[in-house]
């Protein structure tokens, strides 16, 4: 498959988000039981992120200021999560940051390291840190549909509708934040 047809298959007529974040494609067989556990973990993580983001945005929408005690607790929690994320990154538990373009159908990723080892047809897992402040990753079973140099196109294996919905909502929130940030910088 060509890179253009892979782009159409993964990103045509769906919400797409692109940024630089810790992500990697891990080639290898996926155990069905492990894939179900990873899918449940990904859904739980994305749902929890949505609840956390919604709570923070609702706090920001109120005319009343959040209490200073609540602001201090949130700041301390952000610091602890940042420290934990740094420790995990130093241990090598998080993938290195790379350019990632993804949708609910799949992803295009710039592979770091041995890109020649990842060929079309390879099966494995896309591992992504969904939020900068969260030192945890989601793992989505996938297979490579195209490769060009150090860039690969990965189609997700069929996922449960609840996971697909959680992923779509997450991508929408990332996209919305990116648009708001670009407007703020103008």
What does the pLDDT look like over 137-159, one tens digit per residue? 999 999 999 999 889 999 999 99
Q: How far apart (Å, rounded) are the C-alpha atoms in residues 49 and 186?
A: 28
Name all domains of the chain by residue range, CATH numbers in brackets: 3-185 (2.40.10.220)
* pLDDT value for 17: 94
Q: Indicate if the pLDDT at residue 19 is higher than 80.
A: yes
pTM of the full structure = 0.79
Q: What percent of the chain clears pLDDT 90, i.e. is strictly above it?
A: 45
What does the pLDDT look like over 54-74, one tens digit per residue? 665 555 544 456 677 776 776
* pLDDT value for 90: 62
**CB neighbour list of residue 57: distance below 8 Å, 6 or more residues apart:** none
What does the pLDDT look like over 37-51, one tens digit per residue? 888 889 988 988 888
């Amino acid at each position: 498959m060509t890179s253009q047809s892979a782009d159409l298959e993964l990103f045509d007529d769906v919400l797409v988000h692109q940024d630089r974040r810790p992500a990697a494609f891990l080639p290898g067989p996926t155990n069905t039981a492990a894939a179900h556990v990873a899918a449940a973990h990904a859904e739980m993580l994305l749902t929890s992120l949505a609840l956390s983001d919604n709570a923070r945005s609702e706090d920001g929408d109120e005319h009343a200021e959040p209490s200073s005690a609540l602001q201090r607790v949130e700041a301390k929690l952000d610091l602890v999560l940042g420290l934990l994320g740094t420790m995990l990154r130093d241990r090598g538990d998080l993938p290195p940051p790379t350019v990632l373009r993804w949708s609910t159908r799949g992803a295009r990723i710039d592979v770091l390291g041995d890109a020649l080892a990842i060929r079309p047809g390879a099966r494995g897992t896309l591992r992504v840190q969904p939020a900068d402040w969260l030192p945890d990753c989601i793992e989505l079973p996938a297979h490579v549909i195209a490769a060009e140099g150090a860039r690969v196109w990965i189609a997700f294996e069929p996922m449960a509708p609840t996971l697909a919905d959680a992923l779509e909502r997450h991508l929408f929130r990332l996209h919305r934040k990116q648009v708001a940030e670009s407007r703020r910088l103008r």
